[in-house]
Structure 1
Amino acid sequence: MTVEIRVSRSPGERRVALLRDGVLAGYRVERPARPDGVGDTLRGRVVSRLPALAGGFVALPGGESGFLPESECEGRRLPPEGTILTLRVTRAAQSGKGLRISARVKQRPSGPLALLERGPDQALRWAAAHPAAPLVVDDPAELARLRAALGPRATGGAAFDDALESEADSLALPETPLPGGGRLIISPLPALTAVDVDSGGADPREANRQALPELTRQIVLRDLAGPILLDLAGLSLKARGALEPAIRSALVGDGLVQALGFGPLGLFEMKRARIHPPLHEVLADRPLARGLALLRLAAREAAAAPHRVLALSAPAPVLDAIRALPGALEEFAARAGRPLVLRDASLEEVSDA
């Protein structure tokens, strides 16, 4: 099997894709100015012990806090309040839950609350997991950073072709097509994610079997986590039960998922470990997601026409989100050799009227 890592950097954003034999098998959107923190090493202070939760809360640098389970402490006992600890972030803040941290790291000398070491980004994590995989990187600064860490494995080139761009865009949509005309409908909710198999008029048994490989793939690509409920297409409870071995087999390749089986409502229940924020949460800030997509297009136009002065016209919330993301506009100016003019589309409409 051939594994390849593609890294596409645009102002304010990094997109990383993992391909196996040319098929998209992993995808992550990162905002370098706002990393999710997983893998970071921090110095924090125990501020409260909560025996009922078998853990406690720890004050972290930047005014953040994290939950430290007793199971992640030396001797499985939470130290007294006020104790300074060296900690590692094991789960990003997501789904309304804060950072999860561990004290099972080498303790460093006591001191003020601080970020001691930043954890690896997704390109470095996948590079470590696949030491023979080459990396294709489309940005000179990003290429220099990865080459410093990985050597000649990282090479410059077009990271995302049109097909990969299209598939990456489709992951923001709630539906994904299946062979034979069916579809998966993916509905993330605060407490769980519901996945519905729509047969599209095909034989339900065949549609469900076709859905299973794509179900696992979409769960991984979208980084869905927490409780996940699968509603198969048009089968009796007894017939659904007959598909349980096939469902469990399809999920085996995902080491983060735990298959629980069918519940009384005929829904197959599974639970996937929460580590990084799911894709729908990363994209939940619609003005920012839209603004970064427009910056990506503007950067391409600037590269194609290096002497043109470019202006970005967008609604005020989109422009405000771009301005609020540290370094995004500065990164555009550094790449393009000139700043990007921002124009409030609503004011332009008033002027035209």
Structure 2
Amino acid sequence: MAAPLTEIHVSRAPGERRVALLRDGRLEGFRLERPARPDGVGDVVRGRVVAVMPALSGAFVELPGGESGFLPANETEARRLPPEGTRLALRVLRAAQGGKGARVSARVADRPGEGVLARGADQALRWAAQFPDSRVLTDSPAELARLRGALGPRASLGLPLDDVLEAEIEALHGPEVALDGGGRLILSPLPALTAVDVDSGGADPVAVNARAIPEFARQMRLRDLAGPILLDVAGLTTRQRAALEPALRAALGGDSLVEYLGLGPLGLFEMRRRRIHPPLHEVLADQALAQGLAMLRQAAREAAAAPARRMALHAPTPVLEALRALPGALAEYAEAARHELALREAPIPEVTDA
């Protein structure tokens, strides 16, 4: 059996980078990145130990920009925590979440300098390393130059994401996933856990559950869900639900971040997925910025299709302020379109001629 054709598509728009992993044409991975605000995973930084906490088997550290992090004792040489005030090189293992700082490791070669000593690889390069036979395609000459610097001729210029993929990626922004043949998944990320419900929509629950389980595992990867995750399938008695465990285990088998915990007393399948990068719903939590960048992407496409047109973005004040606050986004648009985007306050968002 031939290995699946793996492609990595990198689509660049002002202020953001969308990276899609396709295997035999099917979307199997997605990451939304904002280069001006990287999540820091993989970065090597200069940090300072500010509080050793033996009860927590670790230490709190101060990172560049005044951000905090946590250094576990098992991520230090010989499992010994350095004294308070020590300055050392640290690698970021896990992005910050909520009020919790980044998880860091001191198991990294020291190097001179302060602040950020080295940037970690972005998602396209991580997937390129994971799938060495993959093709890497981008719709951006600037991204092509960057990728070729790391990957050589393996990276090439390609067309933008097609309408089908665009629609599937857009659907990741919402809480519902329609299942082929009927039924749907409803995903509810909460601060403490993520609850996922299978709604049969009146269809045969046995058939709907059979379709829902592999799609649930796929959506968990696409959205980068993390932490405790509970799955409630449609209908079925506790015994009938237990019969679904082999299918669920098989669907989760390719995800090294997942630990399956079993069928709980409430009839819910319980699992835990290790967090590394922020889940997609956290990236999109600033709705004003998400809306502004989507409109900026639309304006950039229209300007590219008609270079003589000068575009204006009409939007509520919070959207305009969010765009102005994101370093480089509006300048990136202006450089590509060869004119600045006019920003105008309006209650209804739209892109028009200036």
TM bin (shorter chain):
over 0.9
Residues 269-302 of structure 1 show CA distances to partners (whole Å, capped at 9, x for unaligned) of: 0000000000000011000000000000000111
Residues 56-107 of structure 1 show CA distances to partners (whole Å, capped at 9, x for unaligned) of: 1001111111011111111112111111111100001124422110111123
CA positional deviation for 1:180 = 2.3
Pair 1:186 & 2:207 matched: no
Amino acid across the alignment from 1:332: Y
Amino acid across the alignment from 1:140: P
Q: How does 1:1-353 map to 2 (within 5 A)?
A: 1-108=4-111, 113-346=114-347
Whole-angstrom CA distance in 1 between matches of 2:238 and 2:81: 46
Runs of 4+ in structure 1 deviating by more than 4 angstroms, as ranges, are: none
CA positional deviation for 1:347 = 11
Contact residue 38 and residue 276 of structure 1 kept, 8 A = yes
Give the alignment's TM-score, normalised by structure 1: 0.96
Contact residue 134 and residue 153 of structure 1 kept, 8 A = yes
**% same residue:** 68
Residues 168-187 of structure 1 show CA distances to partners (whole Å, capped at 9, x for unaligned) of: 00001101011221111000
Amino acid across the alignment from 1:54: S
Whole-angstrom CA distance in 1 between matches of 2:146 and 2:247: 43
Contact residue 10 and residue 139 of structure 2 kept, 8 A = yes
Contact residue 70 and residue 76 of structure 1 kept, 8 A = yes
Whole-angstrom CA distance in 1 between matches of 2:22 and 2:132: 14
Whole-angstrom CA distance in 1 between matches of 2:134 and 2:248: 30
Contact residue 332 and residue 339 of structure 1 kept, 8 A = yes
Equivalent residue number for residue 352 of structure 2: none
Note the residue ranges of structure 1 that are not aligned, 5 or more in a row: 349-353
Contact residue 111 and residue 117 of structure 2 kept, 8 A = no
Whole-angstrom CA distance in 2 between matches of 1:152 and 1:201: 52
Secondary structure of the structure 2 residue equivalent to 1:334: helix
Amino acid across the alignment from 1:307: A
Residues 231-276 of structure 1 show CA distances to partners (whole Å, capped at 9, x for unaligned) of: 1111111211121122111110111100000111111100000000
Secondary structure of the structure 1 residue equivalent to 2:90: strand
Residues 143-173 of structure 1 show CA distances to partners (whole Å, capped at 9, x for unaligned) of: 1111111111111121311111100000011
Q: How many residues align?
A: 346
Whole-angstrom CA distance in 1 between matches of 2:153 and 2:52: 48
Whole-angstrom CA distance in 1 between matches of 2:301 and 2:137: 18
Secondary structure of the structure 2 residue equivalent to 1:87: strand
Whole-angstrom CA distance in 2 between matches of 1:16 and 1:29: 6
Whole-angstrom CA distance in 1 between matches of 2:185 and 2:347: 37
Contact residue 196 and residue 231 of structure 1 kept, 8 A = yes
Whole-angstrom CA distance in 1 between matches of 2:154 and 2:348: 48
Give the root-mean-square deviation of aligned CA atoms.
1.4
Contact residue 136 and residue 159 of structure 1 kept, 8 A = no
Amino acid across the alignment from 1:45: R
Give the alignment's TM-score, normalised by structure 2: 0.95
Whole-angstrom CA distance in 2 between matches of 1:169 and 1:127: 24
Q: Does 17-26 or 297-306 show the bigger shift?
A: 297-306
Whole-angstrom CA distance in 2 between matches of 1:295 and 1:258: 39
Q: Closer, same or farther in 2 for the Cα pair 1:136/1:267, shift >3 Å?
A: same
Note the residue ranges of structure 2 that are not aligned, 5 or more in a row: 350-354
Amino acid across the alignment from 1:68: L
Secondary structure of the structure 1 residue equivalent to 2:182: coil
Equivalent residue number for residue 351 of structure 1: none
Q: Does 178-187 or 39-48 show the bigger shift?
A: 178-187
Contact residue 314 and residue 348 of structure 2 kept, 8 A = no
Residues 95-151 of structure 1 show CA distances to partners (whole Å, capped at 9, x for unaligned) of: 442211011112335x6x411000000111111111121111111111111111111
